[in-house]
């Protein structure tokens, strides 16, 4: 099942310089994630989890090492290519949902299609289809303020999936949700992982959730991988 | 990102901040309004002078007058020495001028004072003699009636301002009515040269009055600008008829003493040519014969240079408001970026390229410019129309005819909108660049 890895990082490093102080956020990360995996990433705050997510999501560029996704060297893409990579190859969801308050659920989900020049009617039609996939067809015309936290995060998931990416990066997606709602979201991710062979990378504080959903967990500490453990 | 979508995004963003959008746009409206008002004033003056002259064919007129006579336009005395024999501008020279190639007609400028009697009112005015052919041109703008039928008809054209002075407002009502001209003629029998003082003592001036009856053929608009136009009077009579009226030509006191009774000498001859090239021919002829000449076309270059400077000055004044308005655009858009940093971050995270972000902001600036341009132009129209009314209202009381002091050529209407968009886009360049450079990692941490 796990043939050639979908994501491969080689000695990946990221150094932030603020004035004279240099902070090593990531230091020599070597990852190999096969297609269709559900990888959990754990670690205390400041361990570099989010930095790793941002690098894998193409929001940031590494200061050393490399990232390869589906055989492409993501770490050497230019601005324009990175935008396309973010648009088509990865979907990201965040702890704070990051959906646009002024847009309806449907409009938020359709947003990535806007930049590909898909006509409006087509955009909204596809957004509706994905919204029903995450169980929100009833709420498609509501604005974020009219939706619960769990619903907002489902909107974010739908938006992340609209361009059928290879990878879903979830950065503490349940951090703002109660445990029942959290499980609902993670069940959704698991379902996508199983039915659509979507590769999921999940960052979480909560070890029990990772243990429940992830096939494999890596622990980050001070920007390094401490150990990796397989889930039974 | 499609153009329609960029436009929709920009519109909805502007709509969300209605007050701010309105205020920023209003700044541009005032800027463009000031600019177009200034430029339209410059254009108005230019139009009233050159373009109108051109339309009236005034660049095809040249005036010939005897040397030594004070030029009626420049005010400077042309150099004529006492020794050189003075050339006489008479019927013979008139014929010679008419025979020149390219000359359409030449008519002497004959004006004489007369008392005009009409509907029990009397006004003193200058009567000008004009060939029927010239009176029929566009030079004479008729407000009612028609021009004289021929050079020998007993009809005349009267100016609307003279009628107004007499308290008549409807020009159509006077057409065909009888009007009397009372002219003075020199009565030598009354002139006692040995005792000039008697002239003033017993009021017996050496003049006698003659009355001539005419019908009013037409009412003409009085030219708002005097100077080089061959129309300088309020009453025009045909040349053939005029020959039968004995008068003294009293356009200048010089003529009275100089002409030494010679009725044939003219103080000035207006020449109409068919093209500006013929102007040079007439000038050469005049120089050869010892006459002086004046052609408006010679002043044209000077006039044009003057207009360029005036336009530049007016535009510079008008630009001040627009520069201030464009700073307003920069300010508004930088504010918008600060507010929308997170939104920009989100857009980038889901795959928006720098170009997409740039487009949204550029369209916002462009829309402000478009609205500012359109409404600024409207404001310019409204303001200039109002000023035009007020100025004309004041000047009408002094008998000055209605003139459009502002003129909006098509290029100004189109250009002001294009210019407004352009200036707004330039103002939007820096904010746009700044928006495109927003770091999504930082923006998404942003609250």
Q: Which residues have CB under 8 Å from A178's CB, separation 6+?
A: none
Q: Which residues have CB under 8 Å from B357's CB, separation 6+?
A: B344, B347, B348, B432, B435, B436, B438
What are the tokens at A91? 């979907």
Q: What is the rounded CA–CA span in Å between residue A70 and residue A78?
A: 17
pLDDT digits (tens, 9 = 90+) for B406-447: 999 999 999 999 999 999 999 999 999 999 999 999 999 865
Contact A87 B441 (CB under 8 A): no
Confidence of residue B78 (pLDDT cuts 50, 70, 90): very low
More reliable by pLDDT, B61 or B388: B388
Residues of chain B found within 8 Å of residue A96, distances taken between Cβ atoms: 444
Start-to-end CA distance of chain A, whole Å, equals: 17
Name the percent of chain B lying above pLDDT 90: 36
Q: What is the rounded CA–CA span in Å between residue A78 and residue A58?
A: 10
What pLDDT does residue B256 have?
47
User: Quick check: B48 pLDDT over 50?
Assistant: yes
User: Quick check: B189 pLDDT over 70?
Assistant: no
What pLDDT does residue B75 have?
46
Helix (H, G, I), strand (E, B) or coil at A21: strand
User: Quick check: A232 pLDDT over 50?
Assistant: no
Most confident of the following: A41-50, B263-272, B341-350: B341-350
Do the beta carbons of residue A154 and residue A185 sit within 8 Å?
Answer: yes
Do the beta carbons of residue A204 and residue A40 sit within 8 Å?
Answer: yes
User: What burial class does residue B6 get, using C-beta atoms within 10 Å of its C-beta: 0-12 exposed, 13-18 middle, 19+ buried?
Assistant: buried
Reference A181, options A214, A147, A146, A216; nearest CA is A147
Q: In terms of residues, how long is chain A?
A: 232
Determine the residue among A98, A168, A172 to mutate to test chain B binding: the one whose Cβ has the most chain B Cβ atoms within 10 Å: A98
What pLDDT does residue B261 have?
45
What are the tokens at A36? 């269709």
H/E stretch holding B51 reads none
More reliable by pLDDT, B99 or B244: B99
Range of the domain at A160: 38-62+75-230
Confidence of residue B390 (pLDDT cuts 50, 70, 90): very high
More reliable by pLDDT, B56 or B312: B312
B95 shares contact with chain A (CB less than 8 Å):
no
H/E stretch holding B161 reads helix B160-165
What pLDDT does residue B20 have?
94
Q: Which residues have CB under 8 Å from B265's CB, separation 6+?
A: B66, B88, B89, B90, B259
Q: Which residues have CB under 8 Å from B253's CB, separation 6+?
A: none
What pLDDT does residue B152 have?
86
Confidence of residue B252 (pLDDT cuts 50, 70, 90): very low
User: Quick check: A187 pLDDT over 90?
Assistant: yes
Do the beta carbons of residue B285 and residue B100 sit within 8 Å?
Answer: yes
Helix (H, G, I), strand (E, B) or coil at B244: coil
With respect to residue A13, please indicate whether it lies within any of the assigned structural domains. no
Count structural domains, chain A.
Answer: 1
What is the CATH classification number for the domain harbouring A203? 3.40.50.300
Contact A114 B1 (CB under 8 A): yes
Q: Which residues have CB under 8 Å from B317's CB, separation 6+?
A: B34, B38
Confidence of residue B164 (pLDDT cuts 50, 70, 90): confident
What pLDDT does residue B197 have?
60
User: Quick check: A118 pLDDT over 50?
Assistant: yes
Distances from the Cα of B353 to the Cα of A80, A99, A155, B9, B350, angstroms: 6, 18, 22, 15, 9
Tell me what the mean pLDDT of segment B344-351 comes to. Answer: 95
With respect to residue A125, please indicate whether it lies within any of the assigned structural domains. yes
More reliable by pLDDT, B252 or B329: B329
What pLDDT does residue B79 have?
45
Confidence of residue A27 (pLDDT cuts 50, 70, 90): very high
User: Quick check: B226 pLDDT over 60?
Assistant: no
Sheet-wide strand order for A199-203? A90-94, A167-171, A199-203, A38-42, A216-221, A224-230
Q: In terms of residues, how long is chain B?
A: 447
User: Quick check: B184 pLDDT over 80?
Assistant: no
Compute φ and ψ for A142, nearest 5 degrees: -90, 150
Contact B16 A102 (CB under 8 A): yes
Residues of chain A found within 8 Å of residue B444, distances taken between Cβ atoms: 59, 94, 96, 98
Q: What is the dihedral of CA B220, B225, B229, B234, to 10 degrees?
A: 40
Tell me what the mean pLDDT of segment A125-142 comes to. Answer: 94
ipTM above threshold 0.90:
yes
B440 shares contact with chain A (CB less than 8 Å):
yes
Tell me what the mean pLDDT of segment B241-255 comes to. Answer: 58
Q: From B348, which residue of chain A is nearest by alpha-carbon distance?
A: A83
Q: Which of B351, B356, B444 is closest, CB to CB, to A98? A: B444
With respect to residue A144, please indicate whether it lies within any of the assigned structural domains. yes
User: Quick check: B255 pLDDT over 50?
Assistant: no
Q: From A107, which residue of chain B is nearest by alpha-carbon distance?
A: B9
Would you say the pTM of this structure is higher than 0.90?
no
B441 shares contact with chain A (CB less than 8 Å):
yes
With respect to residue A21, please indicate whether it lies within any of the assigned structural domains. no
Q: What is the rounded CA–CA span in Å between residue A81 and residue A85?
A: 6
Q: Which of B1, B345, B440 is closest, CB to CB, to A115? A: B1
Confidence of residue B223 (pLDDT cuts 50, 70, 90): low
With respect to residue A82, please indicate whether it lies within any of the assigned structural domains. yes
pLDDT digits (tens, 9 = 90+) for A80-97: 999 999 999 999 999 999
More reliable by pLDDT, B279 or A188: A188
B399 shares contact with chain A (CB less than 8 Å):
no
Domain boundaries, chain B: 3-54+302-445, 110-250
With respect to residue A100, please indicate whether it lies within any of the assigned structural domains. yes
Q: Where are the beta strands (DSSP E) in chain A?
A: 5-18, 21-34, 38-42, 64-69, 72-73, 90-94, 167-171, 199-203, 216-221, 224-230
Q: Which of A60, A80, A111 is closest, CB to CB, to B350? A: A111
Lowest model confidence (mean pLDDT) among A222-226, B48-52, B233-237, B380-384: B48-52
Tell me what the mean pLDDT of segment A135-159 comes to. Answer: 95
Start-to-end CA distance of chain B, whole Å, equals: 27
Q: Give exposure, A172-183, as e/b (b: 16+ Cβ within 10 Å).
A: bbbebbeeebbb
Q: What is the rounded CA–CA span in Å between residue A231 and residue A10?
A: 24
Q: From B5, which residue of chain A is nearest by alpha-carbon distance?
A: A114
More reliable by pLDDT, B33 or B293: B33
Helix (H, G, I), strand (E, B) or coil at B430: helix
Name the percent of chain B lying above pLDDT 70: 83
Reference A91, options A136, A144, A34, A158; nearest CA is A158
Residues of chain A found within 8 Å of residue B440, distances taken between Cβ atoms: 59
Tell me what the mean pLDDT of segment B48-73 comes to. Answer: 72
State how far Cα B64 lies from the chain centre.
24
Reference B54, options B283, B232, B303, B269; nearest CA is B303
**Shortest Cα distance, chain A CAs vs residue B338, angstroms:** 15
Contact A83 B352 (CB under 8 A): yes
Do the beta carbons of residue A65 and residue A13 sit within 8 Å?
Answer: yes
Q: What is the rounded CA–CA span in Å between residue A53 and residue A60?
A: 9
**Shortest Cα distance, chain A CAs vs residue B422, angstroms:** 25
What are the tokens at B87? 């050339």
Helix (H, G, I), strand (E, B) or coil at B396: helix
Q: Which residues have CB under 8 Å from B426's CB, separation 6+?
A: B326
What pLDDT does residue A205 have?
84
Helix (H, G, I), strand (E, B) or coil at B354: helix
Tell me what the mean pLDDT of segment A7-29 comes to. Answer: 91
Q: From A89, which residue of chain B is nearest by alpha-carbon distance?
A: B351
What are the tokens at B300? 């044209």
With respect to residue A52, please indicate whether it lies within any of the assigned structural domains. yes
Mean pLDDT for all residues in chain B? 82
Confidence of residue B342 (pLDDT cuts 50, 70, 90): very high
Reference B358, options B410, B440, B432; nearest CA is B432
With respect to residue A163, please indicate whether it lies within any of the assigned structural domains. yes
User: Quick check: A225 pLDDT over 50?
Assistant: yes
Could you say which residues from 323 to 362 on chain B have a Cβ atom under 8 Å away from some Cβ of chain A?
A: 342-343, 345-356
């Amino acid at each position: 099942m796990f043939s050639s890895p979908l994501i491969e990082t080689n000695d990946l490093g990221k150094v932030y310089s603020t004035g004279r102080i240099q902070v090593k956020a990531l230091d020599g990360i070597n990852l190999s994630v096969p297609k269709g995996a559900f990888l959990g990433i754990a670690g205390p705050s400041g361990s570099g989890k989010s930095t790793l997510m941002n690098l894998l999501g193409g929001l940031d560029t590494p200061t050393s090492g490399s990232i390869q996704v589906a055989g492409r060297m993501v770490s050497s893409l230019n601005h324009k290519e990175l935008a396309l990579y973010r648009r088509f190859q990865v979907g990201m969801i965040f702890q704070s949902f990051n959906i646009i308050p002024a847009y309806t659920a449907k409009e938020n989900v359709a947003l990535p299609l806007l930049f590909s020049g898909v006509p409006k009617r087509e955009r909204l039609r596809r957004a509706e289809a994905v919204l029903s996939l995450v169980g929100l067809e009833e709420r498609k015309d509501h604005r974020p303020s009219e939706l619960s936290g769990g619903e907002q995060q489902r909107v974010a998931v739908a938006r992340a999936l609209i361009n059928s990416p290879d990878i879903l990066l979830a950065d503490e997606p349940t951090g703002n949700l109660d445990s029942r709602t959290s499980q609902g979201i993670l069940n959704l991710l698991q379902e996508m992982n199983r039915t659509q062979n979507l590769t999921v990378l999940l960052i979480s504080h909560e070890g029990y959730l990772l243990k429940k959903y992830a096939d494999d967990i890596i622990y980050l500490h001070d920007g390094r991988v401490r150990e990796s453990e397989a889930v039974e | 990102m499609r153009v329609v979508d960029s436009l929709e995004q920009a519109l909805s963003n502007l709509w969300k901040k209605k007050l701010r959008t309105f205020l920023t746009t209003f700044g541009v409206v005032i800027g463009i309004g000031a600019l177009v008002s200034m430029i339209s004033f410059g254009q108005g003056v230019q139009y009233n002078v050159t373009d109108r002259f051109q339309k009236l064919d005034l660049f095809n007129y040249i005036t010939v007058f005897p040397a030594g006579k004070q030029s009626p336009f420049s005010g400077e005395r042309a150099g004529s020495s006492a020794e050189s024999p003075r050339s006489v501008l008479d019927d013979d020279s008139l014929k010679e001028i008419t025979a020149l190639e390219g000359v359409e007609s030449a008519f002497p400028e004959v004006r004489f004072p007369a008392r005009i009697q009409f509907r029990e009112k009397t006004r003193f005015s200058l009567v000008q003699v004009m060939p029927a052919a010239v009176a029929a041109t566009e030079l004479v703008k008729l407000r009612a009636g028609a021009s004289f039928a021929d050079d020998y008809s007993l009809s005349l054209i009267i100016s609307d301002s003279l009628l107004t002075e007499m308290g008549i407002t409807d020009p159509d009502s006077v057409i065909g009515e009888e009007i009397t001209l009372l002219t003075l003629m020199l009565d030598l029998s009354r002139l006692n040269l040995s005792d000039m003082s008697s002239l003033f003592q017993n009021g017996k001036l050496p003049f006698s009055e003659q009355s001539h009856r005419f019908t009013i053929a037409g009412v003409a608009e009085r030219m708002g600008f005097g100077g080089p136009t061959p129309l300088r009077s309020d009453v025009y009579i045909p040349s053939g008829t005029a020959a039968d009226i004995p008068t003294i030509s009293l356009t200048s006191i010089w003529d009275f003493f100089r002409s030494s009774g010679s009725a044939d000498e003219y103080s000035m001859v207006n020449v109409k040519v068919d093209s500006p090239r013929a102007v040079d021919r007439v000038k050469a002829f005049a120089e050869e014969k010892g006459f002086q000449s004046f052609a408006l076309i010679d002043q044209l270059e000077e006039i044009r240079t003057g207009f360029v400077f005036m336009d530049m000055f007016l535009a510079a004044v008008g630009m001040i408001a627009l520069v201030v308005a464009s700073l307003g655009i920069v300010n508004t858009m930088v504010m918008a970026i600060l507010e929308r940093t997170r939104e920009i971050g989100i857009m980038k995270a889901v795959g928006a390229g720098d170009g997409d972000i740039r487009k949204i902001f550029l369209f916002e600036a462009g829309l402000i410019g478009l609205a500012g341009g359109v409404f600024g132009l409207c404001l310019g129209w409204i303001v200039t129309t109002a000023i035009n009314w007020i100025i004309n209202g004041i000047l009408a009381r002094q008998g000055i005819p209605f003139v459009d002091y502002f003129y909006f050529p098509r290029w100004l209407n189109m250009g002001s909108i294009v210019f407004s968009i352009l200036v707004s886009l330039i103002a939007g360049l820096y904010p746009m660049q700044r928006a495109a450079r927003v770091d999504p990692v930082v923006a998404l941490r942003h609250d």
